[in-house]
Structure 1
C-alpha cells in the first residue's frame, strides 16, 4: 500500500508525539495534501529558500523540518514575503511541509540525546524530565574520563558541522570538566536549573550577553558551570541522521535523505 502524506504524518507523530511539544510550539503538518503519495522525504533543520529548492529539485514529496516555518503568527502568505514565497513554491511542486520541533527534542533519542551520545556521556538524564523520568528537555551526564574545558571545546568543534561562529567558551581553558549538561538549540532558560548549576560545563546555543554574564559571575564564586556556546543549527543537525534512520525503518519503500546544506544564518566572522 503506497504511503501518503497522511500516513507519513501518523508515523511522524508516533516517533515524535505532539503531546511532547511545548505549549508555545507549532509542530505538525504545515502545508500539503494529506492524500498526496510520498516516495521521497528530505530532512533539514530549517525550511528556508535553499532547503525548499533542494526539496523541489530532488523531487521530494515531503520536507521534514525541525524548526516550524509558521511558529509565530503571520497575516499574509503573499509571495513577495519569504514565508509566502516558500509556501507557494512547496505547494506548486506538491511538496508537503512538516515540522517536528520540541516534540523531537524531548524523546529518548531526540536532539539533545543525540548530541550527548556523540560526546560519549554516560548515565544521562533529562535536565527537565517529563513525568516518565526518561524523556524531557536537555541532557546531563558524565564523560568517560575528565578532560580540560579547552579539549572538550575542541572535541565539540570537530564533532559539529563547521559554522562561522564555531565554539565560544566561558571558563578557564585548562580547568577539568567531567559532569556535562547540554541542550540542543537555545538553552539559556535552563541556566538556573539544579542539573545545569551542578554540572562542570553547560553546552548550548544562542547564549545572550546577560544570562551568560550572570552565569559566568556565579561560576567565579564556585556556583555554576563553564559555558560552551555553539551554533543553534549545528547543535540540532546531528539529530537528522538518527531521525532519517528511524524513518527508513518505519517507512519501507520511501527514500529518506538528509540535507547537507548549512542553514546557520551567519556567513563569516571577523576577529579582533
Structure 2
C-alpha cells in the first residue's frame, strides 16, 4: 500500500504529540491533502523559499518543518504575499506542509535531546518538566568528564552547523564544566530554571543583552555560581532535530519513503564584519 500524508502525520503526531504544544502555537498540517501519496519527504527547520525550492526540486510531496509558517492568525494567503506565495507553490505542486514546533520541543525525545546528543551530552531530565516529569522544555545533561569552559565552547562550535553569528560564551574560560542545561531555540526565558538546576553552563539561542548581563551579575546565589552562558544561532540549535525526525520517519515507514534532511542554512544572518577600530578605542 502506498504511504499517504495521513500515514506520515500519524507517525509524527505519535512522536511529537500535538497536545504538548503551547496554547499559542500553530502545529500540524498547514496545507496539502491527507489522502495524497508520499514518496519523498524533506525535513527542515524553516519553511521558507529556500527549503520549498529544495523540496520541489527533489519532487517531495511533503515538507516536515519545525517552525510554523502561519504562527499568527491570518485572514488570507494571497499569492502576492511572502507566506501566501509559498502556500500557493506547494499546493500547485501537490506538496503538503506539516509543522512540529513546541510539541517537538517538549516531546521525549525532542529538539533539546537532539541538541544534547550533538554536543556529546547525556540527558538526565527536562529543564522545565511537564507534570509527567519526562517531557518538557529543555534538558539537564552531563558531560562524560569535566572540561574548561573554553574547551566546552569549542565543543559546541565544532558540533553545530557554521553560522555567521558563530558561538559566543559568557563566563570564566577556565571554569570546569560538567553539568549543562540546553534548550533549542530562544531560551533566555529559562535562565532562572538553569540557575535553579545548579548547572555549570547553559546552551541556548537568541540570548539578549540585558537578561544575559543580569544573569551573570547575579554571581553566586546560595553557594552556587550562575551558569556560564553559551549563545548559538537559533537555526543551528534546532537543526540537529531534523535528523532525529528523519530517523523517526525512516524507522516507522520501513524505508518505503525517501526521507531527506535539508542542509541549506536558513539562518537569516549572512554577513559579518570585524571591528575596524583597536579594542582600546571601543567605548
SS in 1 for 2:147: strand
SS in 2 for 1:138: strand
Bigger shift: residues 144-153 or 215-224: 215-224
Q: Which residue of 2 aligns with 1:235?
A: 237
Query: Within 1, Cα distance between the matches of 2:148 and 2:225?
Result: 18
Q: Which residue of 2 aligns with 1:37?
A: 37
Per-residue displacement from partner, 1:146-195 (whole Å, max 9, x unpaired)?
11111111110000000000101111122211111110111111111265
How far does residue 123 in structure 1 lie from its aligned partner after superposition?
A: 5.1
How far does residue 267 in structure 1 lie from its aligned partner after superposition?
A: 0.2
Matches within 5 A, 1:32-71: 32-71=32-71
Residues 181 and 196, structure 1, Cα contact 8 Å, conserved in 2: no
How far does residue 220 in structure 1 lie from its aligned partner after superposition?
A: 6.4
Pick the aligned partner of 1:263 from 245, 262, 266. 266
Structure 2 residues not aligned, in runs of 5+: 276-283
* CA-based RMSD: 1.5
SS in 1 for 2:272: coil
Query: Within 2, Cα distance between the matches of 1:196 and 1:169?
Result: 20
Matches within 5 A, 1:1-272: 1-122=1-122, 124-193=124-193, 198-219=198-219, 223-252=225-254, 253-272=256-275
SS in 1 for 2:42: strand
How far does residue 74 in structure 1 lie from its aligned partner after superposition?
A: 2.5
Q: Which residue of 1 aligns with 2:281?
A: none
Per-residue displacement from partner, 1:16-66 (whole Å, max 9, x unpaired)?
110111111111000001111111110000000000011111100000000
Summarize the Cα distance change of 1:197–1:223 in structure 2 as closer, same or farther, 3 Å threshold: farther
SS in 2 for 1:98: strand
SS in 2 for 1:183: strand
Per-residue displacement from partner, 1:208-256 (whole Å, max 9, x unpaired)?
1111111111136764111000011011101111211110111131110
How far does residue 119 in structure 1 lie from its aligned partner after superposition?
A: 2.4
Summarize the Cα distance change of 1:123–1:28 in structure 2 as closer, same or farther, 3 Å threshold: closer
Summarize the Cα distance change of 1:58–1:191 in structure 2 as closer, same or farther, 3 Å threshold: same
Query: Within 2, Cα distance between the matches of 1:26 and 1:6?
Result: 18
How many residues matched? 272
Query: Within 2, Cα distance between the matches of 1:196 and 1:145?
Result: 22
Residues 194 and 202, structure 2, Cα contact 8 Å, conserved in 1: no
With normalisation by structure 1, the TM-score equals 0.96
